[in-house]
Amino acid sequence: MTQRTMVWVFIGFLTSVAFIGPAQANTLEVTGTLNRLTTGPLLGTTFDTWNINIPTGGNFTVDVLAYEASQSNVATAGYFSSDLNGDGELTWLDADTYFYRNTGAPLSAVDALVRADDINNNTPVYQNGLTALTSPVTVTSLSQAEGAIDGSIHFRRDPAYDVTAAPGNYLLLMADFRLDPAEAQAGINTNDNFSPPTGFVGGITDHADYRFRLSSNTLNFLIDGNTITASPVPLPAAVWLFGSGLVGLAGLARRRLSA
């Protein structure tokens, strides 16, 4: 190989590396259904608990899609509804989300870290005296436009936020309207119902569907049951190949030059 050829090969490698660019976004979509209990010892709505294990810590985005109307009142200008999950029903989960510390023990109010409710209010609300400086999970609300990327039409009600997490195991709670930590510890969202828009006729109130999306440029998400494990994105194998190629070329070039 002539020196000129080697220079072009070298430039080719550099261009290839440049085209690899930053790590691809890694996305996980999770769906669920909450139910309203009207008989039995627990009255109210259920909530879901997702284990989120992040051994290395890191950054990711949570984007919720749930409320299937554009307004909370049919008389409001611009009102429309949309069957966002295509199941033939319109449901009305006014999603309320929380991060808790996961100690492995039963869920306890003292482990609540931060509440992330609607995009425009109640996001974030740190719990148990924590602040953005002291909580192991911090939350930054996204704009309405960013919260609508997943198809949300009442994105003010659908939480959407960026998360920074210290290494650890956490719980992500998905609930309706307002799940106080004492209610979470007791296992039921008390006195809660899924509220259709005011004026809506024949609304479904015995259950509500949701979807949330986790995405990150730096973390991969694996789900097993209700446990989601987030691990750093490995460097693409190609980067290692190009790297060793460059080292080899450099050695070759040095030998040629000294000869």
Give the footprint of Ca ion on this chain (CB under 5 A).
Answer: 63, 65, 83, 85, 87, 89, 94, 117-118, 147, 150, 152, 157-158, 160, 178, 189, 192
Question: Are the C-beta atoms of residues 139 and 71 closer than 8 Å to each other?
Answer: no
Residue count of the chain, please give it: 259
Closest approach of Ca ion to the CB of residue 10, in Å: 46
Going by C-alpha positions, the residue among 252, 259, 240, 258 that lies closest to residue 6 is: 252
Closest approach of Ca ion to the CB of residue 183, in Å: 5
Q: Are strands 26-37 and 207-216 parallel, antiparallel or unpaired?
A: antiparallel
For 252, residues 6+ apart whose C-beta sits below 8 A from its C-beta are 1, 6
Based on CB atoms, which residue is closest to Ca ion, 81 or 102?
81
CA-angle at 105, arms to 104 and 111, nearest 5°: 90
* C-alpha neighbours within 13 Å on the C-beta side of residue 67: 29
Closest approach of Ca ion to the CB of residue 150, in Å: 4
Based on CB atoms, which residue is closest to Ca ion, 126 or 194?
194
In the numeric block, the tokens 């440029």 are attached to 217
Closest approach of Ca ion to the CB of residue 203, in Å: 12
Based on CB atoms, which residue is closest to Ca ion, 206 or 250?
206
Query: Buried (b) or exposed (e) across 101-137, using 16+ Cβ within 10 A?
Result: bbeeeebeeebbbbbbbbbeeebbebbeebeeeebbb
Taking CB positions, which residue lies at the least distance from Ca ion? 152
Cα 248 from chain centroid (whole Å): 42
Based on CB atoms, which residue is closest to Ca ion, 46 or 135?
46
Based on CB atoms, which residue is closest to Ca ion, 111 or 176?
176
Closest approach of Ca ion to the CB of residue 82, in Å: 8
Closest approach of Ca ion to the CB of residue 238, in Å: 34
Based on CB atoms, which residue is closest to Ca ion, 101 or 211?
211
